Amino acid sequence: AQTVTQSQPEMSVQEAETVTLSCTYDTSESDYYLFWYKQPPSRQMILVIRQEAYKQQNATENRFSVNFQKAAKSFSLKISDSQLGDAAMYFCAYRSVLYRDNYGQNFVFGPGTRLSVLP
Amino acid sequence: GAGVSQTPSNKVTEKGKYVELRCDPISGHTALYWYRQSLGQGPEFLIYFQGTGAADDSGLPNDRFFAVRPEGSVSTLKIQRTERGDSAVYLCASSLAGIEGADTQYFGPGTRLTVL
């Protein structure tokens, strides 16, 4: 089964600065998807960015970008020009490409990183 | 349009009682997922519906947990004989097509269940 690790339980960043959240995963598959989700205190999970493993180009969404290192099985999230509204829990998630009987093991979340943004 | 909604937002019950948690997905989304999120952890998969049928219920922890989606839209997660260990936030998500491909899941705000 796949596993996702986020080694930073908590991070903080000064407003307008840049912060990088780490994520590593373990899989034997060659093709898959990776996601970063944001969960503010309202509890609603919001998709921040996603990456297809077969694409070498790192995904970017406005101030959010990823550094995808497939060989190292690393998928970090960089937030530029941090804003107060970025404060939240951030979850890294892995998903297999192909459906198998055991879907539950094919979509896995990491434990999360709590990001604080300091004014 | 409206997002995924879940009711109630908070539920407090006593050990041994029965509870029902409701999820109303985005209109037209055929796939629906239930997750459980314990304090300080990431969501943990419980069950996945494609239309009316449970395509994968391998994440349900035991037979006290059951979920239905009779008309392929609203889903209800049912927990019998609740235990204190069932206390968690229960998240629901829906997506347009299902698990093939990078189908984006849209999450509801969750129901916080507290078992006293």
**Domain contains A104:** no
- C-alpha distance from residue A74 to each of A34, A61, A93 (Å): 10, 19, 12
Distance from CA of B81 to the nearest CA of A (A): 24
Look at chain A and report how many structural domains it folds into.
1
> Predicted confidence band at A106 (pLDDT cuts at 50, 70, 90)?
low
Q: What is the DSSP string of chain B?
A: ----EEE-SEEEE-TT--EEEEEE--TT--EEEEEEE-TTS--EEEEEEETTEEEE-TT--STTEEEE-TTSS-EEEEE-S--GGG-EEEEEEEESS-SSSSPPPEE---EEEEE-
DSSP output for A57-80: SPPEETTEEEEEETTTTEEEEEE-
Residue B55, pLDDT score: 82
**A13 within domain boundaries:** yes
Residue in this structure with the two tokens 């041994």, named with its chain if needed = B16
Do the domain assignments include residue A80?
yes
**Does the beta-carbon distance from A111 to B48 stay under 8 Å?**
no
Residues of chain A in contact with residue B107, where contact means CB-CB under 8 angstroms, are 37, 44-46
Q: What is the pLDDT of residues A38-71, one digit of tens each?
A: 999 888 899 999 998 988 899 999 999 999 999 9
The answer to the question of residue A11 being in a domain is yes
Residue type at A34 in one-letter notation: L
Residues of chain B with Cβ-Cβ distance to A93 below 8 Å are 42
Confidence class for position B97, pLDDT limits 50, 70, 90: low
Domains along chain B? 5-103 (2.60.40.10)
Task: Report the pLDDT averaged over residues A22-32.
Answer: 91
Per the domain annotation, does A81 fall within a domain?
yes
Closest by Cβ to A109, choosing from B42, B46, B109: B42
Q: Which residue has the higher pLDDT, B116 or B55?
A: B116
Nearest partner of A110 among A29, A37, A30, A27, judged by Cα: A37
Does residue A106 sit at the B interface (CB-CB below 8 Å)?
yes
CB A66 within 8 A of CB A36: yes
Domain membership of residue A15 as a residue range: 3-99+109-118
Percent of chain A scoring above 70 in pLDDT = 91
In whole angstroms, give the CA distance from residue B116 to residue B49.
Answer: 30
From the list B40, B41, B99, which residue is nearest A103 (CB)? B99
Q: What is the CATH number of the domain that holds A53?
A: 2.60.40.10
Nearest to B41 among A37, A43, A111 (CB): A111
- Chain B residues close to A104, C-beta within 8 Å: 45-46, 48, 56, 58-59
Q: For residues A44 and B107, what is the distance between their CA atoms, to the nearest angstrom?
A: 6
**What φ, ψ does residue A98 adopt, rounded to 5°?**
-100, 140
pLDDT at A55: 87
Kindly report, residue by residue over B68-79, the tens digit of the pLDDT. 999 999 999 999
Q: Is the bond preceding B8 in cis, omega lying within 30 degrees of 0?
A: yes
- Please report residues of B whose CB lies closer than 8 A to that of A108: 45
